[in-house]
Amino acid sequence: MIDRYMTEDMNKLWSEKGKFEAFTEIELLVCEAWNKFGKISDEDLNVIKEKACFQIERIDEIEKITNHDVIAYVENVAENIGPEGRFIHKGLTSSDVVDTALALRMVKSVKIISEELEKFIKLLKEKVIEHKNTICLGRTHGIGAEPTTFAMKLGIFYEEAKRNLKRLDEACENIRVGKLSGAVGTYSNIDPFIEKYTLNALNLKTCEISTQVIQRDRIAHVMFVLSLIGAGIEKIALEIRHLQRTEVREVQEGFRKGQKGSSAMPHKKNPILSERLCGMSRLLRANLSTSLENIALWHERDISHSSVERVTIPDCFHLTHYMLKKSINLISELVVNKDRMLQNIENMNGLIFSQKIMLSIIDKGVARDKAYVMVQRNALKSWEDNSKLIDNMKNDKEIMDLFTQKELEDKFNLNDYIKNIDYVYEKMGV
């Protein structure tokens, strides 16, 4: 991940230093387990715990010879310990350490994401409450449809974020597993006690069954949920981009003092953050596809997944964390132009009431298809010459034979469209 989009919390876990720290935590617990099992003396264990450390530069130096990063790590730790270093990695295969460390870091990363997602959910709820009575134009196919509220838009995002938090919890439990079962997963050179003791200390569960690696459907599950979180953020960002267009101007990203929108045009205020978030969501989805492809490996394992995961897993956690932080900024600083929202409704010339009037005509005993045509011919005239729908209808004898002028005017009541909207808020608990 480039520095621009890297977050400090994630970097502590996904840097090379963070990786080898996780390796060391596991290796020391394994030695402790062998001590409990009677295979490493108390004296040797004390020396191991006291002297165990690594130097990334030295690991890189050894790897140039071994062409194997885990062996290079083990040799570096062992040489720092001395003779007692022979017990490091006892009975293990590389994937025991790599996959258990990966699961450990993924669990910690998911918790970081969950905390940020909870903050975002709280903010969205606050904004839903704030905009319960902010009436705006609802659109389908990008075309003005009927009135809604800005709270309804935000409520869609709020409920989806809540679902994603639940999905994230489920995915976290699915990845909260480790394995210390040796080559091909048969415990041929390690007692199951070592695995149970170590994983218990790490607050990880044991796999019901594994090959030499933890099965990658677990990782794909997490990556899928991260992609869903990204897609949910993209949905918000895309809505803001549409609503900020010059012709709409109902919302606007916060524009800070000293900020510049364009190198060429000083007047520009562009939705740059929303656009950035939309692009990042594409990265999450692209990385998900590789995680799905990593599920199928040769026999008990190959390492075709390894090179992919070194890039995609850290990147996805960095991106998701960054996107959530920026989404909180985006919604916190969002400018909502209530007057423009009402003006855009007014600019529809009453066309938003077409369904309500059609239903009123049907209630008078007119067949639905005929009622539709009666309203449509007047609506199309409004589209064509920018006239008011109510004026066209007042000049339509067939319609005025059904209504008095006051009855017709009463149908053009904006508040009728939000009279039952509290039911939605009640269901959401806001």
Residue 335: beta bridge partners? 252
Separation CA 53–CA 78 (nearest Å): 9
286 CB-near residues (< 8 Å, 6+ apart): none
The answer to whether residue 382 is catalytic is: no
Separation CA 193–CA 316 (nearest Å): 34
Rg of the chain, C-alpha, whole Å: 31
The catalytic residue among 41, 68, 188, 262 is 262
DSSP of 2-37, one letter per residue? -GGG--HHHHHHHSHHHHHHHHHHHHHHHHHHHHHH
Q: How many helices (H) and strands (E) does the chain have?
A: 18, 6
71 CB-near residues (< 8 Å, 6+ apart): 62, 63, 94
Separation CA 390–CA 404 (nearest Å): 12
Tell me the C-alpha to C-alpha distance, in Å, between residue 73 and each of 11, 25, 69, 78.
20, 13, 6, 9
Tokens describing residue 184: 């091909």
The catalytic residue among 141, 263, 267, 299 is 141
**43-52: which pairs have CB atoms within 8 A and are 24 or more residues apart?**
44/84, 44/87, 47/81, 47/82, 47/84, 48/81, 48/84, 48/85, 48/87, 48/88, 51/80, 51/81, 51/82, 51/84, 52/24, 52/27, 52/28, 52/77, 52/80, 52/81, 52/88
β-pairing, 205-206 vs 177-178, is parallel
In three-state secondary structure terms, 53 is coil
The answer to whether residue 262 is catalytic is: yes
β-pairing, 251-252 vs 335-336, is antiparallel
Separation CA 193–CA 378 (nearest Å): 80
Tokens describing residue 182: 């040796």
Backbone angles phi, psi at 189, to 5 degrees: -125, 20
CB atoms within 10 A of CB 9: 18
List residues with catalytic annotation. 141, 262
